[in-house]
Amino acid sequence: MINYIEFLNVPTKVAIVLVGLFLVIQVIGELLEFKGKVVPEFVKIRKVFQRRKKEKVLIHKMGETLDKVQVTLNDLNQHYSTDNIRMRDDWIRLVNSKLEQYDKSISELDKKLDKNNSDTLSILIDNKRSSIRSTKTLSQATI
């Protein structure tokens, strides 16, 4: 530290006073923080070192996060490549064509079911008529 003072051409007494003042300010900052008060960074050099340490940790974490983001982006680019989009579009066209075929088949089955229901109803009506006629003829024969 003496080398720095000599390099700056500061008188020794002034340097000692400045260092002493700096130490007194640091002690006052520690006491104020101990009492629960918020103290600015220039009063407590320890806060500066803590902040810088946190910044270094954050910068390290940002590097890891950027690596993870790059992996995710590569994965997304792989999913949305031209070949994959073409394959997806072909698959969607196939699904849509099958859907149209199934709709036609269901429509045909619906028509056939309606015809079957009407035929069954007409057979049931004819059967009831025949049964009513046969009961009438039996009742007329007994009279």
Q: Which of 32, 28, 26, 20 is nearest to 44 (CA)?
A: 26
3-state secondary structure of 44: coil
Band of the pLDDT at 31, cuts 50, 70, 90? confident
Measured between alpha carbons, how far is residue 34 from residues 6, 39, 46, 51 in Å? 36, 10, 13, 19
- Residue 5, pLDDT > 70, answer no
By CB neighbour count within 10 A (0-12 exposed, 13-18 middle, 19+ buried), where does 47 fall?
A: middle
pTM over cut 0.85: no
142: which 2 tokens? Answer: 């007994």
- Residue 32, pLDDT > 70, answer yes
